[in-house]
Structure 1
Amino acid sequence: MELYTEKESMMALRLEAPALGSLSGDSTSLKALLPGAEDSVLPPGDPELCREHGEKFTLFCVDDLEPVCSQCGPTETHEGHRVYPITEAVPDCKGELNSSLGKLLGKSRRFEKVTRIFEHASQHNQSHAQQTERQIKEEFKQLHQFLREEEEARLARLREEEEERKKGMKEKRERMRKEMEFLAKTIREIEEEIKEEGDDITFLQNYQETVKRTWQSHGEPEKVCGPLIDPSKHLANLRYTVWNNMLHIAPYTPVTLDPTTSCRLWSSPLG
């Protein structure tokens, strides 16, 4: 994963220090670096004790992203792994989380921005629907009373399209709302982990699960694309179409309406 690669490069210099060495070799140098560690006595169940060896955690394993004791190296679980002192691991791990947190905050802001765009698009969609409805009614005013059924049929199709598009936008906004809630929850939990002070071992024990949450792919906000209400579908050659259905003479206008300009084109009274 990407974060694992960054962690490797961040910790590489410390792992190569000859004074520290590898856990798979002689632990004499580790004992020299940690005087008094052998003699420290911790009560049973102490979170700072290694459950397998009963020793206090003094190192952090880069490969497994967890605290370990000086005896964990020879075991099959951590043999040959790269480690370095906990006192150096804590600020590095917090720095890594801070970096990931910044990316999550940026993504959250992008979601908020696109949400506002969706809200504006929804209002624009409603405006298109209202304008198209007025134009349809204006066309039908010049027809006889028996055209009312045709008018109502066309209005019904318009409202159906409006509802379909409104429903689609509502579903997208709901998906974005849930994604934003999940992002906010993740950000809040990580901030709490970073602000927690005085319990480095618990922080590092939880670090693996915490950092995995920053790896999760939340995806980018959906873009608003495609036309809104298409007036041309409802208005293009309206009279001619009705005239054909009625076998009655009516003007024919050989044009195709552009959804973005048709309102200006048909804004003047019909002659």
Structure 2
Amino acid sequence: MASSSLSEGDLSCPVCCEIFVNPVILSCSHSFCSSCIQRVWKNKTLKVIKCPVCRTISSNDRPPVNLALKNMCESFQQQRRQKSGSGVCRDHKEELKLFCLDDQQPVCVVCRDSRKHANHRFCPVNEVAADNKEILKASLERLQKELRISVNREQNLCKTAEDIKFHAQSIETQIKEEFKELHQLLHYEEAARITALREEKEKKRQMMKKKMMHRSKQISSLRITIRDIEEQMKAEDVSFLQNFKATLQRAQYIPHPDPNPSVTTTFTDHLTNLKLNVLQKIQNNVGKSSGNIVRTRKQI
């Protein structure tokens, strides 16, 4: 109800001057589109981040979403879409009951008899809308299937991340047990091996984090597309037909491939010939130490 008393200017971002998209609120109470404020801050060379309006320094480079403003913007956009699809011919003020198959647009009975639509083919609006909904239904079902696949893959990624953590902890335990057999002579080598393992574990964790973020963005994009298509499916026939081409184009979703390489959950390389390699390294160090002692004795 509050959005009905607000104008488009009240709901416009100070940066892009368009209706807010995913608005965030700064500590100074000014709001901006999430992408707009990040773009402004990214282009700045200053060490501190400020509000573009009042220049107040912001303490958070990831400001929270302004849920109240977001809801008002969505309500305003919905009301504007409903008004644009009133179902009345702007030229003749008659109800749009027909659809011109040649011009692909809703028309009234007066339009049908006008020179503009001479010799054109017509069909009732509800029949054309029903046919086009069937066309869009197949795309919607495909998108819903893709969403289910993406959600399943996200769950598998979560499991893989847990497996990486489990296997890393398991290998770490085995490395510690083997190093115990070498006591203090192997203390340095043990620390080096543990560090290498943890660095690899962190590298894999970061790679998995990127994969999960990629999948989450894909899921979010799919959900938004599906929600918008479902809203269009519920819209009045005229409004639906007016937005059909744009909606169908959005429905032609092509998933982006995962740009990150695959990640294994094992760390077996850290155990391969562990004792042999470590003993060889210790032997080389001992040999060097012995050679230094011999040279020192000759000098004496």
Equivalent of residue 202 in structure 1, options 225, 239, 244: 239
What whole-Å deviation, never above 9, does each CA across 1:241-263 have from its counterpart, x for those lacking one?
112211179xxxxxxxxxxxxxx
Aligned partners of 1:48 and 1:57 also within 8 Å: yes
Q: Which runs of 5+ in 2 are unaligned?
A: 1-83, 286-300
Q: For residues 64 and 109 of structure 1, do their structure 2 counterparts lie closer, same or farther at Cα, with a shift above 3 Å needed?
A: farther
1:242 match = 278
What amino acid does structure 1 have at the position aligned with 2:270? H
Q: Secondary structure in 2 aligned to 1:247? A: helix
Aligned partners of 2:211 and 2:258 also within 8 Å: no
What amino acid does structure 1 have at the position aligned with 2:172? E
What whole-Å deviation, never above 9, does each CA across 1:100-153 have from its counterpart, x for those lacking one?
211111111111111111111111111110111011111111113132111111
Q: Secondary structure in 2 aligned to 1:217? A: coil
What whole-Å deviation, never above 9, does each CA across 1:41-64 have from its counterpart, x for those lacking one?
xxxx99545567887645435677
Equivalent of residue 231 in structure 2, options 192, 201, 205: 192
1:152 match = 191
What are the equivalent positions in structure 2 for 1:63-102 lying under 5 Å apart?
A: 66-68=105-107, 70=111, 84-102=123-141
Task: Return the alpha-carbon distance in structure 1 between the equivalents of residues 271 and 156 of structure 2.
Answer: 27
What amino acid does structure 2 have at the position aligned with 1:201? V
Aligned partners of 1:111 and 1:220 also within 8 Å: no
TM-score (norm 2): 0.56
Task: Return the alpha-carbon distance in structure 2 between the equivalents of residues 155 and 177 of structure 1.
Answer: 32
Equivalent of residue 128 in structure 1, options 150, 167, 171: 167
Q: Secondary structure in 1 aligned to 2:174? A: helix
Please, what is the CA RMSD of the aligned residues? 3.4
TM-score (norm 1): 0.62
Q: For residues 139 and 65 of structure 1, do their structure 2 counterparts lie closer, same or farther at Cα, with a shift above 3 Å needed?
A: farther
State which drifts further: 121-130 or 221-230. Answer: 221-230
Q: Secondary structure in 2 aligned to 1:245? A: helix
Equivalent of residue 116 in structure 1, options 127, 130, 155: 155
Task: Return the alpha-carbon distance in structure 1 between the equivalents of residues 85 and 139 of structure 2.
Answer: 31
What amino acid does structure 2 have at the position aligned with 1:243? L
Q: Which runs of 5+ in 1 are unaligned?
A: 1-44, 250-271
Q: Secondary structure in 2 aligned to 1:227? A: coil
Q: For residues 162 and 64 of structure 1, do their structure 2 counterparts lie closer, same or farther at Cα, with a shift above 3 Å needed?
A: farther
Task: Return the alpha-carbon distance in structure 2 between the equivalents of residues 181 and 50 of structure 1.
Answer: 37
How many aligned positions are there? 200
Q: For residues 155 and 79 of structure 1, do their structure 2 counterparts lie closer, same or farther at Cα, with a shift above 3 Å needed?
A: farther
Q: Secondary structure in 2 aligned to 1:147? A: helix
More RCO (CA 8 Å, sep 6+):
1
Aligned partners of 2:214 and 2:258 also within 8 Å: no
What is the CA distance between 1:85 and its match in structure 2?
3.3
What is the CA distance between 1:224 and its match in structure 2?
9.5
1:183 match = 222
Q: For residues 67 and 245 of structure 1, do their structure 2 counterparts lie closer, same or farther at Cα, with a shift above 3 Å needed?
A: same
Q: Secondary structure in 2 aligned to 1:144? A: helix
Q: For residues 114 and 71 of structure 1, do their structure 2 counterparts lie closer, same or farther at Cα, with a shift above 3 Å needed?
A: same
What are the equivalent positions in structure 2 for 1:138-177 lying under 5 Å apart?
A: 138-177=177-216
Task: Return the alpha-carbon distance in structure 2 between the equivalents of residues 200 and 74 of structure 1.
Answer: 25
Identity score, percent: 36
Per residue, is there more helix in 1 or in 2? Answer: 2
Aligned partners of 2:85 and 2:239 also within 8 Å: no
What amino acid does structure 1 have at the position aligned with 2:182? L
What amino acid does structure 2 have at the position aligned with 1:212? Q
